């Protein structure tokens, strides 16, 4: 009986060893799941069409402007003469209309009349593509000299309109027609000024 004790003890140890080692290791986790996680997808930013290019009338009428305006004046009495004006202004785009406030200094000469003017006013241009009709008005001071030593100054009033057409950025044609009068004087006249724009 004593001879079998070691064999019985060894067998017990052999049977208990795997159980002890199995309890010391953590239980296996769940199997990995594939296809559940995805890499982030980056979408390109939306593409917008560029805004349309402004018409030539807007491009050339907005911002600072300096115009030298030669023309002819046709008084209600006396001979027709030559007129020359210098106009400075700034065009403001308000959508359907371009407002250009400005100042004008002008001289007009004929065999019967000599007129000098200083005016402040505004032009309203209505852009339709390359075609720009406009109306304008101004008030200021004018001095007129006439036959027999006549000379007098007074309030000068000018109203008129015209158009300009752009064939390209470097070439345009137009025409301005104004009615001009100096109060309390016999001076009443039409002023016709063609416009030729050359840009280089």
User: 142: domain range?
Assistant: 56-198
What H or E segment, with its residue span, contains residue 17? Answer: helix 5-24
Q: How far apart are CA 163 and CA 158, in angstroms?
A: 17
SS3 41: coil
Asked if 138 contacts 161 with a C-beta cutoff of 8 angstroms, the reply is no
SS3 172: strand
* CATH number of the domain residue 185 falls in: 2.40.160.20
The encoded tokens of residue 196 equal: 């030729």
Residue of 192, 177, 174 whose CA lies nearest to 56: 174
Residue of 107, 115, 117, 106 whose CA lies nearest to 145: 115
Residue 15 pLDDT greater than 60, yes or no: no
Q: How far apart are CA 172 and CA 25, in angstroms?
A: 94
Question: What is the number of domains present in the chain?
Answer: 1
Residue 24 pLDDT greater than 80, yes or no: no
Q: How many CB atoms lie within 10 A of CB 54?
A: 13
pLDDT value at residue 48? 76
Q: How distant, in Å, are the alpha carbons of 99, 114, 188, 191 from that of 163?
A: 15, 28, 23, 15
What pLDDT digit, counting tens, does each position of 27-65 carry?
Answer: 666 665 555 556 677 777 777 777 778 888 998 899 998
| 18 belongs to a structural domain | no
| 30 belongs to a structural domain | no
| 98 belongs to a structural domain | yes
The encoded tokens of residue 172 equal: 């345009």
Residue 122 bridge partners (DSSP): 101, 137
| 184 belongs to a structural domain | yes
What pLDDT digit, counting tens, does each position of 64-97 carry?
Answer: 989 899 999 999 988 999 999 999 999 999 999 9
Asked if 125 contacts 61 with a C-beta cutoff of 8 angstroms, the reply is yes
| 12 belongs to a structural domain | no
pLDDT value at residue 163? 97
| 47 belongs to a structural domain | no
What pLDDT digit, counting tens, does each position of 108-165 carry?
Answer: 999 999 999 999 999 999 999 999 999 999 999 999 998 878 999 999 999 999 999 9
Residue 142: which residues within 8 A CB-CB, separation 6 or more?
115, 116, 117, 118, 119, 153, 154, 155, 156, 180, 182, 187
| 114 belongs to a structural domain | yes
Q: How many CB atoms lie within 10 A of CB 58?
A: 16
| 190 belongs to a structural domain | yes
């Amino acid at each position: 009986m004593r001879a079998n004790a070691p064999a019985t003890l060894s067998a017990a140890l052999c049977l208990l060893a795997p159980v002890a080692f199995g309890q010391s290791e953590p239980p296996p986790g769940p199997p990995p799941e594939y296809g559940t996680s995805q890499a982030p997808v980056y979408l390109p930013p939306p593409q917008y069409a560029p805004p349309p290019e402004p018409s030539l009338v807007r491009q050339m009428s907005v911002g600072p402007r300096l115009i030298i305006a030669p023309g002819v004046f046709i008084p209600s009495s006396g001979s027709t003469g030559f007129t020359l004006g210098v106009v400075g202004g700034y065009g403001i785009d308000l959508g359907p209309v371009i407002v250009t406030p400005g100042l004008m200094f002008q001289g007009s000469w004929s065999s019967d009349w000599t007129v000098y003017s200083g005016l402040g006013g505004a032009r309203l241009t209505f852009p339709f593509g390359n075609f720009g009709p406009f109306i304008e008005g101004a008030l200021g001071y004018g001095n007129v000299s006439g036959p027999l030593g006549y000379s007098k100054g007074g309030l000068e009033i000018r109203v008129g309109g015209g158009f300009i057409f752009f064939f390209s950025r470097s070439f345009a044609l137009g025409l301005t027609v104004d009615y001009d009068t100096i109060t309390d004087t016999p001076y009443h006249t039409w002023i016709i000024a063609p416009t030729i724009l050359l840009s280089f």
